[in-house]
Amino acid sequence: ALCITMFIWSVWSVVLLLTSLVAAKDGDVRAGCSTAVNDLVYIVDGSWSVGVVDFDKTKQWLINITSQFDISSHYTQVAVIQYSDTPRLEIPLGKHQGGTELIRAIQSIAYLGGNTQTGRAIRFAVNHVFYSSQRASQVKNRLAVVVTDGKSQDDVEDACMEARAQGITIFAVGVGNEITTSELISIANKPSFTYVLYAEDYTTIDRIRDSMEQRLCEESVCPTRILVASRDEKGFELLVGMNIQTKAKSIPGSLIKCCSCFVILLNFFTREIFPEGLPPSYVFVATLRLKGSSSKLTFDLWRVLSKDKEIQAAVTLRGKDKTVTFTTTSITEKEQRVIFKTAKPATLYDGKWHQLKLLVRPHQVASFLDDQLIHAATLEPVELIYINGETQVAKMTGTDITVPIDIQKLRLYCDPHQSERETACEIYSVVRPIHCNIHNSHILCIAASYYCFCPQGKNGKPGPPGLPGKKVSLPL
């Protein structure tokens, strides 16, 4: 397994090197999780409760989740701390400038043994390891992953507060049934459902590999947040990021008191919208209405183009054949496309408000209309996207001609689980309240979301779509 991992990592490093050389020649740059500029520090429990065999499994897990990053002085640098009674710096930040070299270094770490002083280890990471970084002013993300299988024998809260005060993001990984949930929550950043992970034991720790990889990647390429209900979600509020206030006009939305816009002109430099590229998994959501000619045309609802106008990612609507097409990159071909064609997309073109959602994962894409699954299809491995071109909305395919459409929401969530929470509640035909009470001439829904998230403008008036606002109930 080690030889295979080292081979794959070596091949990937060569691919990234060639990509960089090509980019330097033609003026375009690829970006994504692997090219994120991170200082990543693993703080690993090496106490007696772990044991030699399980400690070896931990080391392999570290190798597996680190393999998504390009290890170099330009991108991600990794350090490893093993701790028991005292912390021991096994790998300093920046010592190893290649994946193969880092693998060997992690594999050579000897098991320590001892008690569990987690707080002391975190403080050591803050004061000595992160502090020693030779590129502190260039690093965009300072990440720590704490792996432990038991309750700490010292205080962790003060050390973690100090870490967060210095801009360090902490993930807490609890292994086994001796862990204390409240302590993991104290260690990790908030919200805990994002920054705390659990493994049943060290034998099954690789089951949370995908989750750990995705969350590290989200932290690396998704610095912004979208206000959703009572919490924030990592992602890109495209209507705000593309300055909708100056490029569209407000119109009534899908529900009473909801706000929308009529798109006139919408394009922006990709580097300013997705400065670190796209995450490996994401949820694309658009609430829109196609009327008149827009319901019959073929156009890209959203597309990311390279400097040479090659598609890096796109959602294409084809009114003539009533289909939705998703286009993305490919490591073997120029691009790959998935066409969704069933009875459902036909309703997208009926002149009414609808929510279109695409759940994109590394090996699969699924499409939904008004929260109902249309189809799921397999994807081949993708290439990082070029970020020196433009990101555009509502453009005729193959041209820069803008298609006039009504749009209320245009978002890209980095957490794939947001697909389950994004329930198209702003679409009137979708809302089926389980239990509602009538109060002050308004319907107040208890067990189902029956709200439109309406942006707040000046003097209590509705603001432009996509801006933070408040929930409003629907009048009878």
**Rounded-to-integer distance, Cα 260 and Cα 115, Å:** 58
Q: Is residue 175 situated within a structural domain?
A: yes
Q: Is residue 96 situated within a structural domain?
A: yes
- The residues, ordered by sequence, that sit 6+ positions from 125 with a Cβ below 8 Å of its Cβ are 41, 43, 79, 81, 87, 144, 163, 168
Do residues 66 and 206 both lie within one domain? Answer: yes
Do residues 50 and 168 both lie within one domain? Answer: yes
Do residues 245 and 98 both lie within one domain? Answer: no
SS3 377: strand
Give the pLDDT confidence score for residue 233 in this predicted structure.
Answer: 83
**Rounded-to-integer distance, Cα 412 and Cα 270, Å:** 14
Do residues 279 and 380 both lie within one domain? Answer: yes
Give the pLDDT confidence score for residue 458 in this predicted structure.
Answer: 43
Of the candidates 205, 221, 237, which is a domain's last residue?
221
Is the distance from CB of 117 to CB of 86 less than 8 angstroms? yes
What number of helices (H) and strands (E) belong to the chain?
12, 28
Do residues 339 and 281 both lie within one domain? Answer: yes
Q: Is residue 55 situated within a structural domain?
A: yes
Of the candidates 160, 188, 221, which is a domain's last residue?
221
List, in sequence order, the alpha helices (H) in 175-326: 181-187, 192-195, 209-221, 238-241, 270-273
**What tokens appear for 175 in the block?**
């292994």
Do residues 305 and 428 both lie within one domain? Answer: yes
Give the pLDDT confidence score for residue 248 in this predicted structure.
Answer: 62
DSSP element (H, E) containing 17 = helix 2-26
Do residues 278 and 393 both lie within one domain? Answer: yes
Q: Is residue 324 situated within a structural domain?
A: yes
Please report the sign of the dihedral spanned by the C-alpha atoms of residue 324, residue 326, residue 327, residue 331. Answer: negative
- Is there a cis peptide before residue 362, judged by omega within 30 degrees of 0? no
CATH number (domain holding residue 437): 2.60.120.200
Do residues 85 and 233 both lie within one domain? Answer: no
Q: How many domains does the chain have?
A: 2
Q: Indicate whether this model's pTM tops 0.85.
A: no
Q: Kind of pairing, strands 406-413 and 38-45?
A: unpaired
Q: Is residue 467 situated within a structural domain?
A: no
Q: Is residue 472 situated within a structural domain?
A: no
Structural domain that includes position 255: 228-449
Give the pLDDT confidence score for residue 255 in this predicted structure.
Answer: 63
Do residues 271 and 351 both lie within one domain? Answer: yes
Q: Which amino acid is at 464?
A: P
- pLDDT tens string for the chain (476 positions)? 544 444 444 444 444 444 444 444 456 789 998 898 999 999 999 999 999 999 999 999 999 999 888 898 889 999 999 999 999 999 999 888 888 889 999 999 999 999 999 999 999 999 999 998 888 778 889 999 999 999 999 999 999 999 999 999 999 999 999 899 999 999 999 989 889 999 999 999 999 999 999 999 999 898 677 776 656 788 998 887 776 656 666 666 766 545 555 555 567 899 999 999 999 999 999 999 998 888 999 999 999 999 999 999 999 999 999 999 999 999 999 899 999 986 667 789 999 999 999 999 999 999 999 999 999 999 999 999 999 999 999 999 999 998 988 888 999 999 999 899 888 888 877 754 443 333 333 333 323 333 333 344 444 444 444 443 333 333 32
Give the pLDDT confidence score for residue 230 in this predicted structure.
Answer: 59
CATH number (domain holding residue 95): 3.40.50.410
Give the pLDDT confidence score for residue 264 in this predicted structure.
Answer: 55
Q: Is residue 6 situated within a structural domain?
A: no
Of the candidates 202, 221, 240, which is a domain's last residue?
221
Q: Is residue 412 situated within a structural domain?
A: yes
Distance of CA 241 to the CA centre of its chain: 16
Do residues 238 and 182 both lie within one domain? Answer: no
Do residues 207 and 248 both lie within one domain? Answer: no
CA distances from 29 to 10, 17, 22, 110, 389 (A): 21, 12, 9, 40, 9
Do residues 50 and 193 both lie within one domain? Answer: yes
